[in-house]
Amino acid sequence: MSKDQSVQEALGEKPGFQVWWRMLRPHTLTASFVPVFIGTVAASMYTSIHVGLFLAMLIASMLIQAATNMFNEYYDYVKGLDTEDSVGIGGTIVRDGIPPIQVRNLAFIFYGVAVLLGFYICIETTFWIAVIGLISMLFGYLYTGGPYPIAYSPFGELFAGFFMGTVIIGISYYIQTEAVTTGIILLSIPPAILIGAILLSNNIRDLDNDKESGRKTLAILVGRDNAIRVLAFFFISAYVLTAVFIIIDLIPIWAVITLLSATKAINAYKMFRQNSTPLEMMPGMKFTAQMNTQFGLLYGLSFLLEHLFTWFI
């Protein structure tokens, strides 16, 4: 059995359609779905929801996220960072033999479809959305593309959390209400922190390989043990801020249900503490992504529960 076959077996990778599905890195797509959901249900407290705008925003956000993942795969391959035994990647280029240019072109096609959806959103709202959308797509490309990739710097978590958390939540809220408030910016912070946590968990897992390739990620700068502590701090901060927002009546009291996601956070922390190889730490990243998903859905669900409570009283 060849080395790349053993890695594929360990990761449970299969040929056929799953090659293309893995290229999207579907376990990360909730980082684009959840913010749209949160921004929309927060807006539902003040207005009826325009379903067409919600769906357009949802699909566009997921396409941009998937395209960013593909650009990541393409440029990491071009720069010689991905090999057949790399974990945490789609592996479509280095293990499945998909031509690199095909991966890059598909990413541009996804961007193109997202632009068309953005045009529809602009027609229904304001063309300022186009400016914000184009800036977001530019930073998605610059995450691993361009002369100074953001992914290779200590600021990856910050940019990911801001654009995929705060910006998406803010736009999703705006296209429904035609307003952006201090409140929506504040309540976007916990989900944004947890999106940053997904990236940090990825960088903890890849720390050794990233260090050898010359990257300067946050995990590399602070060291593995401290990076795990920072990850725990991200988790705790999300819960603490949620509690504060409940106390100041910024979000419904029902948001206490976000604590149900704490098990995933604990499991993620333990996996990183107890393991040291990329393959062994893979579950830690998956727990982090699952925690982000559960927290975000429960966070948004709290607004829907507030609706139900209001109707019944």
Q: Which residue has the tokens 């990761």?
A: 11
CA angle 142-146-148, nearest 5°? Answer: 85
Regarding predicted confidence, which is higher, 144 or 42?
42
Residues written for the chain: 313
Q: Which of 289, 283, 144 is nearest to 205 (CA)?
A: 283
Q: Residues 196-214: pLDDT tens digits?
A: 999 999 999 989 888 887 8
Please check the confidence at residue 12 and state whether its pLDDT lies above 70: no
pLDDT of residue 77: 79
pLDDT of residue 144: 77
The domain locations on the chain are 3-308
pLDDT of residue 4: 46
Computed from CA positions of residues 138, 118, 167, 78, in that sequence, does the dihedral angle turn out positive or negative?
negative
Regarding predicted confidence, which is higher, 6 or 91?
91
Regarding predicted confidence, which is higher, 145 or 300?
300
Distance of alpha carbon 96 from alpha carbon 201, whole angstroms: 25
Distance of alpha carbon 189 from alpha carbon 186, whole angstroms: 6
Distance of alpha carbon 308 from alpha carbon 288, whole angstroms: 30
DSSP string, 19-41: HHHHHT-GGGTHHHHHHHHHHHH
Helix pair 224-247, 278-312: axis angle to 10 deg: 0
Please check the confidence at residue 11 and state whether its pLDDT lies above 60: no
> In this structure, what token pair is assigned to residue 252?
């419904």
Q: Which of 224, 240, 239, 223 is nearest to 278 (CA)?
A: 224
Regarding predicted confidence, which is higher, 215 or 175?
175
Q: Which of 202, 201, 250, 192 is nearest to 229 (CA)?
A: 201
Average pLDDT for the chain: 87
pLDDT of residue 105: 92
Q: Which residue has the tokens 């300067």?
A: 216
pLDDT of residue 30: 81
Q: Residues 56-75: pLDDT tens digits?
A: 999 999 998 888 888 888 88
pLDDT of residue 81: 65
Please check the confidence at residue 148 and state whether its pLDDT lies above 80: yes
Q: Is 144 exposed, middle or buried (0-12, 13-18, 19+ CB in 10 A)?
A: buried
Q: Averaged over 293-307, what is the pLDDT?
A: 94
Write down the architecture of domain 3-308 according to CATH: Orthogonal Bundle (1.10)
Report the predicted TM-score, pTM, of the whole model to 2 decimal places: 0.87
Computed from CA positions of residues 63, 89, 11, 292, in that sequence, does the dihedral angle turn out positive or negative?
negative
pLDDT of residue 83: 60
Please check the confidence at residue 99 and state whether its pLDDT lies above 90: no
